[in-house]
Amino acid sequence: MLSHTAIAMSGGIDSLVAAAILKEQGQSLLALHFLNGYESGISPLTLGGAEANGEEQARRALQPLADRLGIPLFIIDLRTEFQKQVVDYFVTTYGSGKTPNPCLVCNPTIKFDILMIKARELGADRMATGHYARIEMAEDGRRRLLRGVDPQKEQSYFLSRLTQRQLAVALLPLGGMTKEQTRHFARRRGLVPATAQESQDVCFIKSGNYGDFLAQQPRFVPQAGTIEDLRGRIIGHHQGLHGFTIGQRRGINCPAAEPYYVVRLEPQRNCLIVGTKKDLLTSKCRVDQINWIAPPPQGPLQVMTRVRYRHQAVPSRLIPLGADRAELLFENPEAAVTPGQGAVFYAGEEVLGGGWIE
């Protein structure tokens, strides 16, 4: 039986070039585009309703790209699944006073799980994406997840929650390329993406305004509360903790000799705790629900840790506290280590694993 590879096609240049590379390698490709329900902006599309038809919009935009490559295009409706797995997680996490990272959830639960199941139903046994990261097979047969070669674009952080089973079916054609090489590849072959925009950190919020998005979600009720300094003095009021994250300066609006930054959120009291820039520093944190890609460590381990995507990995000592929990001790105090974000551990180029910052 002929083996097929599915390519998750968004319409951007990365997935388009990834598809073209695989096509030139002689692979039998299927292009899959999944609807998340937020193609038109903040409000989700009504399932089966008369609002803008996401499938028709996607097909108009993507069919010319698929035709240009000579591959079939399938539009997969995952609006219900995306809402439950990604958007509800996003809203709930903000509601608990933490800062979510939806890409870390979407990749293992949507792209490499639910979408992969759909791909198998169409005859594909692998899933390719336009991520800038690499996968290699170790001598023992397990998959190693490695950084992409482009230090400005590499996206291994976002794939750190993939399991060995998922990595075994993943193809990442752009891992060995820089973004400029991707653009050059597209220009030489006359490949024009459906959208010129770079992929966003949160793809389902088109405006970039998280507060507006959250305020429009069912069952999310922003509550005003107090702003306190580290000595417990009330110095102001906020309109909802969802508008803030640790390290944020904008929006506090409390005059002081030094600028205030968000140091902590206390959802039980609906209180925002602020301090000066030096108060953001911490020497340690705990990490929960760790997904180990490499074999789990049996004792303390020296690692390089990224505590958010736009963060330079820093030297840390990882102390296991069980199968999927650990304490991280930073070699030098780190600023704005944020509960709810992902901490990802590296040894050189290899991703060892990653979990959620408590």
For residue 340, is it within any domain?
A: yes
**Closest CA relative to residue 290, chosen from 217, 210, 352, 242:** 352
**Catalytic (active site) residue 203:** yes
Q: Quote the CA–CA distance of 166 and 304 in Å, as a whole number.
A: 24
Average model confidence (pLDDT) for the chain? 92
Query: Do 266 and 350 belong together in one domain?
Result: no
pLDDT of residue 41: 43
pLDDT at 232: 96
Domain membership of residue 310 as a residue range: 280-357
Select which of 103, 106, 271, 285 is catalytic. 106
The pLDDT value recorded for residue 40 is 58
pTM, rounded to two decimals: 0.92
Whether 178 and 161 map to the same domain: the answer is yes
Q: Say whether both 175 and 239 belong to one domain.
A: no
Domain boundary among 230, 249, 275: 275
Q: What is the pLDDT of residue 247?
A: 94
Residue pair 331/314 in contact by the 8 Å Cβ criterion: yes
Residue 51: pLDDT over 80:
no
270 and 295 inside one domain: no
Quick check: is 57 in a domain?
Answer: yes
- pLDDT > 90? residue 296: yes
What integer pLDDT is reported at residue 199 of this predicted model?
63
Please tell me the distance from the alpha carbon of residue 125 to that of residue 148, in angstroms, as a whole number: 23
Is residue 62, in this structure, part of any structural domain at all?
A: yes
78 and 128 housed in the same domain:
yes
> Does 204 map to a domain?
no
Are residues 148 and 55 located together in one domain of the fold? yes
Is residue 335 included in any domain, yes or no? yes
Inside any domain, residue 352: yes
Same domain, 174 and 60: yes
pLDDT tens profile 321-332: 999 999 999 999
From the number of C-beta atoms within 10 Å of its C-beta (0-12, 13-18, 19+), residue 350 rates as: middle
Residues 30 and 100 in one domain: yes
Contact present, 115 and 135 (Cβ < 8 Å): no
What would the mean pLDDT of 42-49 be, rounded to a whole number? 40
Residues 72-124 have pLDDT tens digits of 999 999 999 999 999 999 999 998 889 999 999 999 999 999 999 999 999 99
How far is it, in rounded angstroms, from Cα 212 to Cα 155? 28
Tens of pLDDT, residue by residue over 268-291, are 999 999 999 999 999 999 999 999
Residue that finishes a domain, picked among 275, 308, 336: 275
Is 106 an active-site residue?
yes
142-179 confidence digits (pLDDT tens): 999 999 999 999 999 999 999 999 999 999 999 999 99
Do 90 and 156 fall into the same domain? yes
* First and final C-alpha spacing in the chain: 47
Residue 44 has pLDDT above 50, yes or no: no
In the chain, the number of structural domains is 3
> 170 and 245 in one domain?
no
CATH number at residue 46: 3.40.50.620
Q: Convert 87-121 to b/e letters by CB count within 10 Å (16 or more is b).
A: bebbbebbbebbbbbbbbbbbbbbbbbbbbebbee
Concatenating the DSSP letter of every residue in 129-180 gives: ---SEEEEE-TTS-EEEEE-S-TTT--GGGGTT--HHHHTTEE-TTTTS-HH
Whether residue 325 is contained in a domain is answered as yes
Tell me which of 251, 275, 299 is where a domain ends: 275
